[in-house]
């Protein structure tokens, strides 16, 4: 553990969030108001800077055996900088996916501390891959069928799995976020139509059962493997997606006691400083849904002092976990090098 703040001699100075630079000019103020400003505010409290940079802002000079890394023209080192490297693959970011994977791998090889290692980021970006990586979950994952779409969709190579689909069914992309792309198919004709739309973007999708109108989404924030806080997301009336961007209602709730063993298992399988574990609750039982290693930390009601305080305290706990991880990693690296 790090010593008390007054005694910390941490060399960490900045956190760089590597994020594809393809947001619209209208979206930028929206996300800044929702959580980016809060990230900067909390980082400053901890004596750190937090900045958002596109993959192409990172330049590496490897002409010598020890590479030099620059972010937007400023030289950074593994001792003073960490990079948040989660893959983002919304449809307008698809062109950036390879660049994200590539620069994340380069930064890892340059010796930087990445609180979201590239291998974990790639695994978690695919909803079915995440489920398959947790074979001994104490609770059941939501039953999932994965279908790739593309130029040969018309051959219906997916036909053998259709007997396992019950309607209504939820159809969603394997790697988008914020609830976008989540649709409901009421019958086989709907499903064929949704797959043909996914074909236009060469987007693989998963098919999952619809659990009913009273289903809510519970997101648990894990800090260094321990449950820290939870948020419930409920669909608006007549809806079936609880995400804020789809009109869902958000509120902070206690971490469900019944998920304790499951959360311990997830933390053991993904030992990173911060991650969000998502569950669906249909009114009777919990189902595992997915994991988000860079879940946005927002205030359900930005006008509520209590909600804002909870938001800021969660962000601070996340950044402290990152700093703890960097401190442990740097000490480990120094120890290794001293014995080289």
Kindly report, residue by residue over 131-175, the tens digit of the pLDDT.
999 999 999 999 999 998 888 888 888 899 999 999 999 999 988
Q: What predicted TM-score, i.e. pTM, was given to this entire model?
A: 0.90
Whether pLDDT at 1 is above 60: no
* The predicted structure's pLDDT at residue 152: 86
The CA distance from 205 to 219, in Å, is 22
Q: How far is CA 153 from the centre of its chain?
A: 29
Whether pLDDT at 333 is above 80: no
CATH topology of domain 5-116+302-327: Rossmann fold (3.40.50)
* The predicted structure's pLDDT at residue 317: 96
DSSP letter, residue 160: G
Burial class (CB in 10 A: 0-12, 13-18, 19+), 174: buried
Under 8 Å between Cβ of 272 and 293: yes
* The predicted structure's pLDDT at residue 240: 80
Q: What percent of the chain has pLDDT over 70?
A: 92
| Cα Rg of the chain, angstroms | 21
**Within this chain, domains 5-116+302-327 and 145-209 share the same CATH topology:** no
The CA distance from 298 to 33, in Å, is 10
Q: Smallest Cα–Cα separation from 185: which of 202, 198, 203, 201?
A: 198
Spatial strand order of the sheet with 81-84 comes to 49-53, 14-18, 81-84
The dihedral through the CA atoms of 176, 230, 245, 319 has a sign that is: negative
Q: How far is CA 263 from CA 60, 130, 201, 267, 316, in A?
A: 38, 14, 35, 6, 21
CATH architecture of 145-209: 2-Layer Sandwich (3.30)
* Residue that wins the pLDDT comparison between 232 and 152: 232
Mean pLDDT for the chain?
89
pLDDT per residue as tens digits for the range 264-311: 999 999 999 999 999 999 999 999 999 999 999 999 899 999 999 999
* The predicted structure's pLDDT at residue 244: 72
Parse the chain into domains and list their residue ranges.
Answer: 5-116+302-327, 124-141+213-292, 145-209
Helix axes 305-338, 37-45, angle to 10 degrees: 60
Whether pLDDT at 55 is above 50: yes
Whether domain 124-141+213-292 has CATH 3.40.47.10: the reply is: no
């Amino acid at each position: 553990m790090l010593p008390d703040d007054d005694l910390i001699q941490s060399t960490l100075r900045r956190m760089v969030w590597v994020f594809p630079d393809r947001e619209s000019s209208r979206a930028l103020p929206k996300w800044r108001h929702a959580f980016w400003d809060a990230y900067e505010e909390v980082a400053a409290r901890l004596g750190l800077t937090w900045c958002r940079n596109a993959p192409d802002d990172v330049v590496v000079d490897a002409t010598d055996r020890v590479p030099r890394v620059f972010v937007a023209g400023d030289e950074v080192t593994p001792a003073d900088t960490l990079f948040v490297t989660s893959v983002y693959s919304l449809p307008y970011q698809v062109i950036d996916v390879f660049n994200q994977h590539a620069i994340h791998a380069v930064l890892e090889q340059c010796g930087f501390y990445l609180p979201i290692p590239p291998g974990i980021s790639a695994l978690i970006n695919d909803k079915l891959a995440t489920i398959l990586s947790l074979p001994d979950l104490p609770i059941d994952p939501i039953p999932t069928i994965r279908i790739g779409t593309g130029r040969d969709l018309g051959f219906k190579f997916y036909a053998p799995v259709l007997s396992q689909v019950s309607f209504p069914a939820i159809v969603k992309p394997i790697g988008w976020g914020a609830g976008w792309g989540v649709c409901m198919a009421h019958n086989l004709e709907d499903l064929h139509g949704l797959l043909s739309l996914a074909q236009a973007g060469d987007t693989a999708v998963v098919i999952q059962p619809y659990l009913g109108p009273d289903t809510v989404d519970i997101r648990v924030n894990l800090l260094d493997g321990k449950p820290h806080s939870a948020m419930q997301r409920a669909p608006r009336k007549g809806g079936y997606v609880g995400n804020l961007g789809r009109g869902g209602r958000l509120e902070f709730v206690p971490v469900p006691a019944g998920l304790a063993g499951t959360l311990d298992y997830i933390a053991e399988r993904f030992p990173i400083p911060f991650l969000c574990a998502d569950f669906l609750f249909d009114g009777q039982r919990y189902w595992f849904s997915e994991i988000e290693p860079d879940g946005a930390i927002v205030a359900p009601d930005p006008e509520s002092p209590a909600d804002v305080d909870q938001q800021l305290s969660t962000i601070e706990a996340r950044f402290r976990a990152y700093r703890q991880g960097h401190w442990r990693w740097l000490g480990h690296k120094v120890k290794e090098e001293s014995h080289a």
